[in-house]
Amino acid sequence: MRKWIGFLGLFFLLVNCSPRALAMKGSDTGVNRSAVLGRWDVTIYDIQGWGVYPSWFDVVERNKELSGQFVGRYGSARPIRYIHFDGDQLYLSLPRQYERPLEDLLFVGKVQDGRISGQTRSESGKTIRFHAERAPALEFSGKPEWGETIELIQNDLSNWMPRNPNHENKWQVENGMLINTQRGVDLVTRQKFTDFKLHLEYHFPEGSNSGIYLRGRYEVQIEDNYGKKPSSLRAGGVYGFLIPDMMAIKPAGQWNTCDITFLGREVTVVLNDELIIDHVEIPGITGGALDSREAEPGPLMLQGDHGPIRFRNILLTPVK
C-alpha cells in the first residue's frame, strides 16, 4: 500500500506542482547534501515515446548553496534552476532547451544506496521513469602503450552500422572516403574502444554541421564556423563543455585534419596543426550520446543527421 501512496504522491507533484513553488519551500529537509553532490549518469525510460535514452547531471555546493548542470537527450549542458529536498525526495527543476513543454522540466527522485530513482514527464506530458548512477572517475595514469592502428575506412561499410536501422542511411564509401551525401542517420563503428588516439580528415560544404562522438558519448563539434569566435558549441569544442583555445576550422570546401587523444576523461584536440584543447577533462556525456554508461567502452560515432560531410584517413590507435 505504501508503494502505491508514494507513486500517487509523485504523480501528483509532477502534474500539479510548479517548479517555482517547490523551490520556494526552502532548502533540504531530509537528505544529506553529500548524498547528491557529484556527477550522475542518468537513463530515462520513455517507452511509448523516444524509448530509453541517456541524460546526465552534476550537483555542486558553493557558499552553502546547491547548483548544477544537466544534459538531456539532445542539446547542450544547461543550468539546473532549482534543487530542493523534501523528506527523502530530491527535486530538480531545469529550464527547457529544445523540449516541447513550455514549463520547466521537473525530476522527482529518491536518493538511496548511491542511486537516484524517480519520475519525470515526457514531451507528451506522460509520467515516465528515470534512474541515475554515480558517474565513474575514469582516471588514467601512467604513459599509454599504444596498440596497432586500425584503419576504419575500408572498401565498404563493413566496419560501420547505422545508429538506428529504421532511419534512412545516406552514408557510402567512394574513392577511399566515407561520405554522408545528405542529412540522414549517425554512423557507428561495430568495434568499441576505451582509451585511444584518433586521426581523421574531414570536408564539409557551406553551412553544414557534424560531429565526432568519442566512445559514442562525447561530441567534438564539426561546423562551418570559419572566422567566428570560439565556443563550446562551435567547431573544435566538446559540445556544451569545453571551449577551444582558438577557431582553427578552415573555410567550407577545404579539408581539415584533426588529431584527438582520449585517455580516461582527459582529451587533447589538435585541429589543422593547432593545439586547441590541451589535456582537459570532459565532465560528462554530451547531447546526442548513445548511452550514459560511461564506465563501459564505446564506439566511434560520426554525426550524420545534421548535414553532408566527407571523411578520409580515419585511423584509430587504441591503448593496449
Per-residue pLDDT tens digits for 195-205: 999 999 999 99
Total domains present in the chain: 2
- Residue 63: predicted pLDDT: 87
Tell whether 193 is covered by a domain.
Answer: yes
CA 62 to chain CA centroid, Å, is 25
* Same domain assignment for residues 124 and 176: no
Find the CATH number of the domain harbouring 314.
2.60.120.560
Question: pLDDT at position 25, please?
Answer: 44
In order, the DSSP letters of 151-193 are E---SSSTTEEESSTTSPP-EEEETTEEEE-SS---EEESS-B
22: domain CATH number? 2.40.128.120
Instruction: State the pLDDT at residue 85.
Output: 77
pLDDT at 124: 84
162 and 302 fall within a common domain: yes
Looking at residue 47, its pLDDT comes to 83
The residue type found at 238 is V
Q: Are residues 178 and 297 in the same domain?
A: yes
With b for 16 or more beta-carbon neighbours within 10 A and e for fewer, the 36-67 pattern comes to: beebbbbbbbbeeeeeebbbbbbbeeeeeebe
The parent domain of residue 99 ranges over: 2-134
State the pLDDT at residue 48: 82
pLDDT at 31: 54
Calculate the alpha carbon distances from 13 to 93, 116, 135, 149 in Å.
Answer: 12, 17, 27, 53
Q: Rounded to whole angstroms, what are the CA distances from 82 to 12, 85, 277, 278?
A: 19, 10, 32, 33
* pLDDT of the residue at 33: 82
Q: Do 114 and 157 belong together in one domain?
A: no
In a shared domain, residues 96 and 12? yes
Positions in the chain short of pLDDT 50: 1-17, 19-26, 30
Are both 155 and 128 inside the same structural domain? no
Q: Are residues 109 and 199 in the same domain?
A: no
> What pLDDT, in 10s, does the model give residues 170-191?
999 999 999 999 989 999 999 9
Tell me, yes or no, whether 141 lies in a domain: no
**Residues 6 or more apart in contact with residue 65 via CB below 8 angstroms:** none
C-alpha cell belonging to residue 267: 582529451
Are 171 and 75 in the same domain? no
Predicted TM-score (pTM) of this structure = 0.91
188 with 100, same domain: the answer is: no
